[in-house]
Amino acid sequence: MDHTAAVNPVAPEKQSQFRSVSTSTPATWLEGYVAQQVAGAAAALIVALDEARDGGVTSGTRQQGGELVAELVRLRNFLVGRFDFETAARIHGPRMLQEACCEMSSATADALIGEVLAIVGKVVKAELN
């Protein structure tokens, strides 16, 4: 799996809005990976919302967002009982998203990460049924 997409999951014409993401803040590589993946999914959500306003979400954005959410579901399921996935995502994900996105408030970053985690939760719940 290509994990570079999580760092900058946007179409080339939208990439000027984003900077490269640093994983130096999280204490462990695992926290960094969780943060990177959740921030990537949140960035894909930003692109999808932007595309929806402009006439519809492209299939590429849908696919990339789906792949990022699927990776988060796999990661969350693998880490259950071993690592606090949600806490790492909520603490480090918004910081990483803010580093990548120009002029994003803490409240917006927190809300986007919360939305991604809600989507992950819905997928996990659907898998259990």
Q: Where are the domains of the chain?
A: 26-128
Contact 26/35 with Cβ under 8 angstroms? Answer: yes
φ, ψ (nearest 5 deg) of residue 18:
-120, 150
pTM of the model: 0.77
| Mean pLDDT, the chain, whole residue set | 83
Q: What contacts 96, CB < 8 A, 6 or more positions away? A: 21, 22, 23, 25, 35, 36, 38, 39
For 15-42, what is the mean pLDDT? 72
The answer for residues whose C-beta is within 8 angstroms of residue 64's C-beta and 6 or more apart is 5, 9, 44
